[in-house]
Structures are given as structure tokens and as C-alpha cells.
Amino acid sequence: MDLIDRKLINALQGGFPIAERPYREVAARLGLEEIQVIARLERLLDQGLLSRFGPMYDAERLGGAVTLAAMAVPAERFDEVAEIVNAFPEVAHNYERSHALNMWFVVATERPEQIGGALRAIEAATGLEVLDLPKLEEFFLELRLSA
């Protein structure tokens, strides 16, 4: 990652323009060409330096639901179970933790009543219990990581 990649990542964490040519607007702010911005983002994604590039939707404001889930996964099955869990379209994030509950993931559904079904489907597919940890209170943390 070079200095321009770092500037691009830092600039995009503050928002992406809603415009006919958003990449051109980003490029203009950074003194680049539109094609350079697109090519750099594609390269960063292809190399795994960025895991994703896209919008963050508030499922609840759109009528859906979100919950945090956790599982105790035997170490020898962790990769297998992660692959199964990640295959569910409702799973947004999946993290390994150093804890008895060593797999944590976010489940988002189009409607609140679908959460339970998604968690039961994950249990059935993995053979492991899924702990539902619904949100009691929300706090906004504007997380920005300087590249």
C-alpha cells in the first residue's frame, strides 16, 4: 500500500458521494483520475488489503433486524464451522475470539421475525448451539482507522 492508497482509504471512511459519477468526485478531491480511484480500490480488494467496499445499511431503520450471536466451536472444527456460518446470507461479520464462546457474528434479516429462523438454521447446519445476544441499547461509535 502506498501513500495514495492510504489517502484514498482515509478519505473514503468519511463518506462516499451520492452522485452520478462518485468515483470522479473522490478522484477530484485527491488529485487523481477517476480510473485510478477505481483501479486502486479493485487492487486493494483483490489483494485482501480491504475486506469490503460498500455501504453500511441500518437494517432496523429499513424494517429489518440485527442481532449478535456467539458459539462455542471446538478448535479442530473452527474453520469448517466458520465456512458454514459465513455461507448464510444473513451473516454480516464473523470474528474469532479468545473465549469459551470463540465465534461471534452479526446476523441481519429483512424482518425481525426471521432472526430466530436464521439462528436455528445455523444451529442445524453446524450441530452447535447459537447464543442470541440481542441489542439492549445502541451507542454510536464513529470508528475510523487511519491507514
| Residue 34: pLDDT band with limits 50, 70, 90 | very high
pLDDT at 141: 64
Query: CA–CA separation, 37 vs 64, rounded Å?
Result: 33
CA dist 47 → 7, 10, 16 (Å) = 17, 18, 22
Q: What class is the 3-46 domain?
A: mainly alpha
Determine the topology of domain 65-133 in CATH.
Alpha-Beta Plaits (3.30.70)
| Residue 44: pLDDT band with limits 50, 70, 90 | very high
The single-letter code of the amino acid at 6 is: R
Q: What is the 8-class DSSP label of residue 36?
A: H
pLDDT at 68: 92
**Per-residue pLDDT tens digits for 51-109:** 778 777 777 777 778 999 999 999 999 999 999 999 999 998 788 899 999 999 999 99
Give which of 64, 67, 59, 72 is closest to 133, Cα–Cα: 67
pLDDT at 82: 94
Residue 37 Rama label (left phi>0; alpha psi -120 to 50; beta): alpha
pLDDT at 93: 79
| Residue 144: pLDDT band with limits 50, 70, 90 | low
Which helix (H) or strand (E) element contains residue 46? helix 34-46
Which helix (H) or strand (E) element contains residue 92? strand 91-96
Q: Is 131 helix (H, G, I), strand (E, B) or coil?
A: strand
pTM, two decimal places:
0.67
Domain boundaries, the chain: 3-46, 65-133
